[in-house]
Structure 1
Amino acid sequence: MELWHGSPEIVWTPLRGLCRPYNDYGPGFYCTPYAELAREWACPQRGKDGIANRYELDLGGLGVLDLEAEGCSVLTWLAVLVSNRPVQVSSPIARDGMEYLRRVFGIDLEPYDVVRGYRADDSYFSFVRAFLNNTLSVAQVGRAMRLGGLGSQVMVRSELAFGRLCFRGYETVPACEYYPLRMCRDASARRAFQDERAAADLDGLYIRDILREEVGPDDPRIR
């Protein structure tokens, strides 16, 4: 599997011990199968060129969790996210909703070597907070995530997977070209969020409904 990692620098040998603990899916090395996306990620600052690092990952024998697969709902992704990233909640329903997601929809990542799922930067985290505060339905979160187009990420998390990750080269990424593309993608995600927040989903399933009805992973309304 070909993977790309956008960074300000060349990452010859990713090290598990240097990974930050509070990322989307916990400590790991975050990549994407899409070269163009990595080029945008490499340029978070105007006027500062970045590096798109290319790797090969041998998936043979590795445990892979795909949070975008058929059997996973958006609530599964949300549960993994709030289990790994700190979330400031300001209401009892948001607090109870977060705990319910962790308990009912959460997945133990320990058996998995690699995790694939949606990317959750600040734009997507707005979706999470709005959902927990009962202002976005499950369907609206799903639509906003798809329309926002922030893309997929692949996280290499186990020592076994790190050992299978082989550096294959890099390219310098011009910020003059890719920083505007990154900002455009971010603006698209924010517009999708604002559009969904402005709409009324009168028949939608909200966090208050999930708590009251004790909705579980097999409920057809979350698919």
Structure 2
Amino acid sequence: MEKITLFHGTFEKNVTPTYGLGEEKHDYGKGFYLTEQIELAKEWAVCRPNVTNGWVHQYELDTSGLKILDFQGKDVLSWLAELMKHRDADDSRRYRVLSEKFIDKYGIDTKEYDVIKGWRANASYFYIAKEFVRDNIDIDILPELLSLGGLGIQYCIKSPLAYSKLREIKENLVTVEYEEFREKYNQRDISAREKMRELVNSDANKVTNVFSTLF
């Protein structure tokens, strides 16, 4: 039996993880999202642009018997394909046509997995996805781009079995001060974007093996 500690940052004091809830347009679709890093959870708790304090809920997940898809161990194109299943990186007809082909070629069938683990595509990471589908980023620099963000790895609880193995440690509920952690969230994103733009505009970006050439 292997138990891991995870944190869920939110503006809600009372949370009940429930199978079938969540937004389909989140990174990995419907599910309950957590991270191993409490400091990131604090930032995510106040990432919405409204002046209110947040909360971090601590959980214990018993991973024994669970099938976990870890995108860090997969090709980065598989991760991008998963994002494309749930989020639109562009609103053009070109993107709609090519994204279907991209998902067919590089996507992973996630239905058999209980938990999905991978990067969190907030503002700066989604900047990568948008630039990639516009043919502005060579696939050779994608892994380095993802390492620059420092924006954390998230876990998405997907199956009834995984939900049944998730237990909140209610006595460890933490209040998050909006002003302090909203600023940290913003600064992390600004720093990530600056580093990413610098790499995208450097000679390392050959702009040869781009999105539209991968089919």
TM-score, scaled to structure 1: 0.86
- Which of residues 84, 87, 94 in structure 2 aligns to 1:85? 87
Q: Secondary structure at the match of 1:131?
A: helix
Shift of 1:96: 4.4
Query: Alpha-carbon deviation of 1:91?
Result: 5.9
Is 2:28 the partner of 1:13? no
Cα separation, 1, equivalents of 2:13 and 2:165: 18
Give the Cα–Cα distance (whole angstroms) in 2 for the partners of residues 131 and 91 of structure 1: 16
Q: Which residue of 1 aligns with 2:212?
A: 208
Paired AA for residue 154 in structure 1: Y
1:188 maps to 2:194? no
1:91 and 1:133 in contact (8 A); partners too: no
Residue of structure 1 aligned with 2:174, choices 171, 179, 182: 171
Deviations 1:17-53 (A, max 9, x none): 3311111111000110111100111112464211011
Aligned to 2:62: 58
Q: Which amino acid aligns with 1:55?
A: Y
Give 1:191 deviation, angstroms: 1.1
- Give the unaligned 5+ runs of structure 1: 212-223
Deviation, structure 1 residue 115: 0.3
Q: Following TM superposition, by how much is the alpha carbon of 1:86 offset from its aligned partner in structure 2, in angstroms? A: 3.1
Give the counterpart letter for 1:134 in structure 2: D
Q: CA deviation at 1:148?
A: 1.3
Does the Cα contact within 8 Å between 1:134 and 1:208 map onto a contact in 2? yes
8 Å contact kept, 1:47–1:175: yes
Q: Does the CA-based 8 Å contact 1:63-1:113 persist in structure 2?
A: yes
Aligned length: 208
1:4 maps to 2:7: yes
The equivalent residue for 1:154 is: 155
Residue equivalent to 1:137? 138
Deviation string 1:128-170 (CA, Å, 9 cap, x unpaired) is 1111111011133322221011110000011111111101021
Alignment of 1:53-132 (within 5 A): 53-69=57-73, 72-90=74-92, 92=94, 94-132=95-133
Other structure's SS at 2:77 match: helix
Kept in 2: contact 1:116–1:153 (CA 8 A) = yes
**1:145–1:189 contact (8 Å) kept in structure 2:** no
- Shift in CA distance, 15/30, structure 1 to aligned 2, threshold 3 Å: same
**Unmatched 5+ residue regions in structure 2?**
none
Return closer, same or farther for 1:11/1:154 CA change in 2, 3 Å cut-off.
farther
Normalised to the residue count of structure 2, the TM-score between the two structures is 0.89
Structure 2 letter corresponding to 1:75: L
C-alpha distance in structure 2 between counterparts of 1:202 and 1:173, whole Å: 43
Deviation >3 Å, runs of 4+: 94-97
What is the deviation of 1:57?
A: 0.6
Where 1:16 maps in the other structure, the secondary structure is coil
- Report if the CA contact (8 A) 1:134-1:207 is conserved: yes
Please state if 1:40 is matched with 2:37. no
Query: Which one-letter code corresponds to 1:90 in the other structure?
Result: S
Write the deviation string for residues 165-223 of structure 1: whole angstroms up to 9, x where unpaired. 10102110112321111111111221123213322422752123323xxxxxxxxxxxx
Cα separation, 2, equivalents of 1:38 and 1:184: 15
